[in-house]
Structure 1
Amino acid sequence: MDLKALHMLWLVPVFTLTAQGLDLSVSPGITARCGSHVRLQCMATSSRSGLSIKHIGWYHRNTPVCYVDNQGPILFNQTDHYCEYEDGQLSLTFPKLKPYQEGRDLESYLCKLRSNQEVKHKYTSVELDDCAAAVTGVLTTAGPSCTFYNVYPDGEVHWFRSSNDVWVEPSNSKHLTTKRVETGGYLTIQSNLTLLETVSGVVFNCSLKSSRSGKYIASTLIRSEGLEGRGGARMAPQFKNTAVRSQEVVTKALYVSVILAVLKIIS
């Protein structure tokens, strides 16, 4: 074996040791439900002794969230997140993850490290699933109305008759949808369906379709009870217990007839 070959063999383990020296690891990309508890970890380790960390920090879209440097921990703890540092590990915790804290692209959350050995950085991502925390449905004089709360990222309201995927025809109705941005980046979406014809006993299905995934993420059923359509013929009030009410009327009439007959005989 010549001198050149021996020299190359000697260099290989040197480069291997260097590559294995300082390591910076972060949590893999996370997909979480809205309002869930999420923790991101950033850890610096070294196979070489004497590691001294000058700076380690979490950044969201290039804005510092929390970091530790020669001055000590600068944690920027708030009600919607907090940070903890111990032995080269900096954790960023979201007790209830909100939309504005999401970072879908791979370079959204960055952990930076500066030490006496090397300078390194790594990225990770935090993605929120489609969500609608709650939905309510009510019946108004104009028609059914539904409201979806804590919606993310956005959605489109679809109205059906019953739950059998039969569209409410635009020619027979019209609906108005309003959206409001709430604290934290959630949406409140309300939809009002105005009926143009008289209906009774119809079950309406109000469903929210996610603008991102194209899936229906929430729905509610609303039953109509003798609704008068705008521009339609007036309809007499209907009762859920019509048969019982009719029987009460007949009984009262017979009672009055008997009383009158008895009074006539006495007189």
Structure 2
Amino acid sequence: MSFPFAMRTRRVLIFCLFSVIAIVDCLIVQLHARPQVEAQCGEDVKLMCNVSSSQQMDVKVLSWVAFNRTLCEYERNRTEKEFHCETTKLKDDQTLTLKLNNVMPVNTGKYLCKVQSTGGVNSTATMVTIQECKGRSTASKNISHAECSFKGVYPSGSVHWFQGNTNLTNSSSTKEIKDQHGLYNIHSTLDVKGEHLHLQHYNCSLWIPSLRKYLSWQQPPLVEEVGSSVGSATVRLQTGLCMMIVRVMQDVL
């Protein structure tokens, strides 16, 4: 009756023995990489993965993997528009470098470095993040509405409208589009009153909730609309431009 018990005990001991060997085998090869890299929008970023071992070993596979795709492989230097791979070999260790070009929000995420060698297997991860992308902004105002546009910004935000200390945000209409780079294009419109428009100052600001700060601020300048007598076309002229044309005409006459 004790025979089956003895067999089970033997199997458990064998399993534990192989588990210990596997753990020791994995510890022979070590990987070193920065756990987190915070990049500036549009800059180049280098991710370096260093392999070392307490014993002599041969690297069979060393790679950078991200988004279900192998980007770099050991001893296979590779150059593409988005990234570049480079291998450095020294006496006691090897380094695989992944250079990300013009980093955008779409490039943020976890990058995994993997190694398989005669000294064992191991992996480590680097998380790439971007704090913010300021992009560019424009603003305008006429007798019917004021507009603000924020292009190429990150993270996403909301447009706040003020006239003096009065918050007009709830009266505005805002649309947001995310492009292929993970950047946001945000356009907001606010209906305004035409009477004494030149005395009314409207401010629009882009609030980023995740950063708890305003990323950009605009005061829409006045754009006068002059109706054309031909058809229903409307010609927009800046006040300063009108004055310049009048002066030129006076000089000619």
Quick check: TM above 0.5?
A: yes
Q: String of CA shifts for 1:245-264, please: whole Å, max 9, x gaps.
A: xxxxxxxxxxxxxxxxxxxx
Where do residues 59-78 of structure 1 align in structure 2 (5 Å cutoff)? 59-68=65-74, 72-73=75-76, 75=78, 77-78=79-80
Match of 2:202, SS? Answer: strand
Q: How many residues align?
A: 200
Match of 2:106, SS? Answer: helix
Offset of residue 168 of structure 1: 2.4
C-alpha separation between the residues in 1 aligned to 2:214 and 2:39?
18
Which residue in the other structure is 1:145 paired with? 147
- Residue 71 of structure 2 aligns to which amino acid in structure 1? V
Q: Which runs of 5+ in 1 are unaligned?
A: 1-16, 228-238, 241-267
Offset of residue 153 of structure 1: 2.4
Offset of residue 180 of structure 1: 2.0
C-alpha separation between the residues in 2 aligned to 1:181 and 1:140?
28
- Residue 147 of structure 1 aligns to which amino acid in structure 2? S
C-alpha separation between the residues in 1 aligned to 2:26 and 2:145?
69
Q: String of CA shifts for 1:115-146, please: whole Å, max 9, x gaps.
A: 11110000110111132221111224422211
Identity %: 26
C-alpha separation between the residues in 2 aligned to 1:200 and 1:138?
13
C-alpha separation between the residues in 1 aligned to 2:116 and 2:144?
64
Which residue in the other structure is 2:172 paired with? 175
Match of 1:200, SS? Answer: helix
Which residue in the other structure is 1:23 paired with? 30
Which residue in the other structure is 1:93 paired with? 99
Where do residues 118-157 of structure 1 align in structure 2 (5 Å cutoff)? 118-157=120-159
Instruction: Tell me which of 168, 186, 192 is aligned to 1:189.
Output: 186
CA RMSD across the alignment: 2.8
Task: State the 4+ residue runs in structure 1 displaced beyond 6 angstroms.
Answer: 17-20
Which residue in the other structure is 1:166 paired with? 166
Instruction: Give the TM-score of the pair, scaled to structure 1.
Output: 0.66
Kindly indicate whether the alpha-carbon contact (under 8 Å) linking 2:143 and 2:224 is maintained by their aligned counterparts in 1: no
- Residue 146 of structure 2 aligns to which amino acid in structure 1? P
Where do residues 209-248 of structure 1 align in structure 2 (5 Å cutoff)? 209-224=207-222
Match of 1:34, SS? Answer: coil
C-alpha separation between the residues in 1 aligned to 2:95 and 2:72?
12
- Residue 193 of structure 1 aligns to which amino acid in structure 2? L
Match of 2:176, SS? Answer: strand
Match of 1:36, SS? Answer: coil
